[in-house]
Structure 1
């Protein structure tokens, strides 16, 4: 990913999740909390740009449906309807871990452990279908 590799020769380790790479980069760069927060925004934007270049809206939703539920609805509306039947962590999708939760409480507890994705960036990534009020 360009954002990570653009920092002083930093490389993502083989099989390393993007979030973990970002944490490792922040530690290596010695960022303050404020600096880390600002960099996290830029990181989320870069993730969104990379992924948005890969898919059309329908292709994007169909792939999510296929990978999560082994179904491929014909329209964006049908895809969204299917995708809203379960709780899905956005970072899991970004990191290509296709799983869902049936129970909101379990999903919330899982997500609150460092797996929150910026709301505005989720909308730009066409993942707003998964946005939930966590608190």
Structure 2
């Protein structure tokens, strides 16, 4: 992701989640609320582009299913993958970060997600794997 490249004086720490890096960047730049909102939208748009590049073929969906459901047989179509993926609650940011956490219940998922890991819903609708969209 080249969002952070626009800020040459800012460095992502090794192993730092991009969500946390964005928050740290906003603080270091002393952005106003309006600027932070505008930059967050730009950031989310780039995340959607990155994720759509990662999940645009059957093999990508199958890899995701294999990571999230190692005991299940690998689905043979994107629609089968999406059906399986809809059976769990997964935070989109975790997929972006490569951290595959599943929640069996909505309550667990909501508690985890509302701690600063909310993705812009309108932008997330443009994701190829928008099966993870849930109302909070």
Provide TM-score, normalisation by structure 1. Answer: 0.91
Aligned counterpart in structure 1 of residue 99 of structure 2, from 87, 93, 97? 97
Output the CA distance in 2 between the equivalents of 1:10 and 1:45. Answer: 20
3-state SS of 2:3 partner: helix
Q: Which residue of 1 aligns with 2:10?
A: 10
**4+ runs of 1 displaced by more than 3 Å?**
none
Output the CA distance in 2 between the equivalents of 1:51 and 1:81. Answer: 19
Gap regions ≥5 residues in structure 2: none
Q: Which residue of 1 aligns with 2:52?
A: 52
Provide TM-score, normalisation by structure 2. Answer: 0.90
Structure with bigger RCO (C-alpha 8 Å, 6+ apart): 2
Q: How far off its partner does 1:9 sit?
A: 3.2
Pick which of 4-13 and 31-40 moved more: 4-13
Q: How far off its partner does 1:125 sit?
A: 2.5
Say whether the 8 Å CA contact 2:48–2:126 is kept in structure 1.
yes
Say whether the 8 Å CA contact 2:93–2:119 is kept in structure 1.
yes
Say whether the 8 Å CA contact 1:89–1:130 is kept in structure 2.
yes
Q: Which residue of 2 aligns with 1:42?
A: 42
Q: Which residue of 2 aligns with 1:85?
A: 87
